[in-house]
A and B are shown apart, each in its own frame.
Chain A
Amino acid sequence: MYKIGVIGDKQSVQGFKAVGLDVYDCTSKEDAKHKLQKIAKDDYAIIYITENFYAEITDAVYEYNEERLPAIIPIPGMNGSMGIGFDNIKKAVEKAVGADILFNND
């Protein structure tokens, strides 16, 4: 059985704890990176990271991009969406198709 982890600032992630996810609240970029690397090795299938931290540790996240597990997914934090999740989809489309054909019309 696999687990689900959440990394982010305390305010944003406290709710996830109630749902039964493993919550790792962190305060700094290094902290977040360290925690991500630690739990990525463990049997976590999904790791949600709030966007403010995701943006700072993208290089660490990209290492897991082409692996099957874990799936590292950015979620908006308390301060609202930064559009990183959409950027990722856009990038994936650009990578696959060569041009962005999905977000053209907005």
Chain B
Amino acid sequence: MARLNVNPTRMVLTSLKKRLKVAVKGHKMLKDKRDELMKQFLELARENKSLREQVESYLNNVYSNFVIASAVMSTEVLEEALMYPKQGVAIDVKNKNVMSVDVPVFDFKTTTDDASNIYPYGFANTSAELDNAIENQFKIFPELLKLAAVEKEVQLLAAEIEKTRRRVNALEYVMIPQFQETIKYIQMKLDENERGNQTRLMKVKDMMLKEIIEEKQANTNAALDEYSQNH
């Protein structure tokens, strides 16, 4: 693993140690986040699957209802009957926070509350099959909304999990080893400097001692010479 390109100084060492600490802490937290997201995601994905199965089979029902309706009625009449919807739907979007992922929650309101008042046409020209189709369409509507919410949440969570997983991996396999490597490198470099310094000091001390000894030797010799001349 490559180490970072930094000066091997004590200051850099301290800051690196701090960064390593933060990285390790962040890694642990992100890992926890990933695990929790995953747990929720799997639950949701399962729900999504069963919900979709349900909605699709319902929808198929509705479609076949419409096919029957359009078989009994002419296309023009059918179209005319559906032209102006009586019912209006407005949805309110709220936020839900799932592990710091903003997820929309849909809440819908229909303009008419009366269940018998959903047909946008008079009964004179239309067939009972159409009533059936419309009624069924109304019944699946809440499920359809729920499906939309769940499916969106699944998509958003999947994206977030992928992001988090990348971050966890980057920390685990790149950042943290890099920091450790660099810290080790700097420490070794500093130790080496320390040893170098020590030897140099010892050498200097030796040299100084030698000088002193030589000086003393010279003094003694001079004194001896002087003594032998006087006597």
Chain A binder among B12-20, B103-111, B172-180, B212-220: B103-111
Does B200 sit at the interface, judged by CB under 8 A? no
Whole-angstrom distance between the Cβ of A100 and the nearest chain B Cβ: 10
Closest beta carbon of chain A to B46's beta carbon, Å: 7
Does any Cβ of A come within 8 Å of B191's Cβ?
no
CB of B168 within 8 Å of the partner chain: no
- Give the CA-CA distance A37 to B148 in the complex, in Å: 19
Verify if B8 is at the interface (C-beta below 8 Å from A): no
Contacts between the two chains (Cβ within 8 Å), count: 141
The DSSP consensus for interface residues of chain B is helix
CA distance A19 to B118 in the complex (A): 8
Chain A 1-23, CB-CB to B under 8 Å as 1, else 0, gives 11110000001101111111100
| A96-B157 in contact (CB<8A) | yes
Count of chain A residues near B, Cβ 8 A: 41
CB-CB < 8 A to B134: which residues of A?
Answer: 15, 18-19
Shortest Cβ distance from residue B76 to the other chain A in the assembled complex, whole angstroms: 13
Q: List 8 A-B contacts (CB under 8 A).
A: A17-B82, A77-B63, A78-B63, A81-B60, A92-B155, A93-B45, A96-B41, A96-B158
Contact residues of B with A, CB < 8 Å?
Answer: 37-38, 41-42, 45-46, 48-49, 52, 55-56, 59-60, 62-63, 66-67, 78-79, 82-83, 85-93, 102-104, 106, 108, 110-111, 118-120, 133-134, 137-138, 141, 144-145, 147-149, 151-152, 154-159, 161-162
Report the 10 A-B pairs with minimum CB-CB distance, sorted nearest first. A71-B152, A20-B87, A92-B158, A96-B161, A20-B89, A1-B90, A96-B158, A46-B148, A95-B158, A15-B137
